[in-house]
């Protein structure tokens, strides 16, 4: 009986070892490989500075049956560095997209479909820095960190957000054996943009702001900022 087990085990191992390297992986095997590649990517953020301003947003005071504009903080610009590392080279159908999203995101409130903040687009900045493989596909190289420092400003027909807990959302379409595996989220990294009441903030006219945070929650948590003269 033990001899039969040894024989069967040997045949199985021989079958695996003798599988031609040219035989393509199945869809299931490629999916597993894609998951392993993406799981090995490490992405971190470092915030070195941020400038705040103030504007107004609509808040629904249900208890008073009243809707009115209130003062809120918004992020005017920030200095952020993104660091990407991986032990295995990862290739993509197209460069990954990067999206900065502020607290309590509700882009529909501002008439936008995209929740992203800031210009220039961080994905475009990253794409300009990534190396390519022989076929021209953008890639994260193995064993070499990618550092992407950027100074970003509000505007560009994009959402405005208050300070607080922000997210960097990274999405990409990885290649396995030259086959695109479909767009998926690589990472969602949280970082904090601080705020205080210690200094008055410049005021931005409401018509120049696309406020995408849920003002009811933000106003309750942060209150109204001080405004530098002249007052709105």
Contact assessment for residue 170 and residue 43, using Cβ atoms and an 8 Å cutoff: yes
CA dist 218 → 71, 137, 162 (Å): 10, 42, 8
With a cut of 80, say whether residue 12 has pLDDT above it.
no
pLDDT tens-digit map of 132-147: 999 999 999 999 999 9
* 15 upstream amide cis, omega within 30 of 0: no
pLDDT tens-digit map of 164-217: 999 999 999 999 999 999 999 988 999 999 999 888 999 999 999 999 999 999
Give the pairing type, strands 139-140 and 90-91.
antiparallel
CB atoms within 10 A of CB 120: 13
With a cut of 80, say whether residue 51 has pLDDT above it.
yes
Residue 148 is given by DSSP the state E
How many angstroms separate the CA atoms of 104 and 161, rounded?
9
How many angstroms separate the CA atoms of 97 and 113, rounded?
16
Which residues touch 33 (CB under 8 Å, ≥6 apart)?
25, 176, 177
How high is the pLDDT of residue 63?
60
pTM score, whole prediction: 0.85
Contact assessment for residue 199 and residue 225, using Cβ atoms and an 8 Å cutoff: no
pLDDT tens-digit map of 162-174: 999 999 999 999 9
Q: Reading across the β-sheet that carries 146-153, which strands appear in turn?
A: 42-61, 66-85, 146-153
Nearest CA among 126, 143, 30 for reference residue 89: 143
Which helix (H) or strand (E) segment is 71 a member of? strand 66-85
pLDDT tens-digit map of 52-82: 999 999 998 766 667 889 999 999 999 999 9
């Amino acid at each position: 009986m033990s001899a039969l087990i040894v024989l069967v085990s040997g045949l199985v191992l021989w079958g695996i070892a003798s599988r031609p390297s040219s035989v393509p992986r199945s869809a299931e095997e490629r999916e597993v490989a894609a998951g392993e590649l993406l799981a090995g990517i490490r992405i971190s953020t470092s915030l070195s500075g941020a400038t705040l301003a103030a504007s107004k947003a609509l808040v629904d005071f249900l208890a008073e049956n009243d809707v009115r504009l209130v003062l809120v903080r918004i992020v005017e610009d920030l200095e952020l560095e993104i660091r990407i590392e991986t032990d295995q080279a990862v290739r993509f159908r197209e460069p990954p997209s990067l999206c900065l999203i502020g607290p309590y995101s509700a882009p529909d409130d501002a008439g936008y479909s995209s929740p992203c903040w800031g210009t220039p687009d961080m994905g475009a900045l990253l794409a300009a820095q990534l190396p390519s493989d022989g076929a021209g596909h953008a890639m994260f190289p193995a064993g070499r960190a990618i550092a992407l420092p950027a100074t970003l400003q509000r505007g560009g027909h994009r959402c405005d957000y208050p300070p607080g807990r922000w997210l960097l959302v990274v999405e990409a379409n990885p290649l396995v054996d030259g086959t695109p595996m479909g767009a998926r989220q690589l990472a969602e990294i949280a970082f904090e943009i601080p705020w205080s009441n210690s200094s008055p903030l410049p005021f931005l006219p409401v018509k120049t702001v696309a406020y995408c945070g849920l003002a009811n929650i933000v106003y309750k948590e942060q209150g109204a900022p001080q405004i530098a003269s002249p007052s709105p």
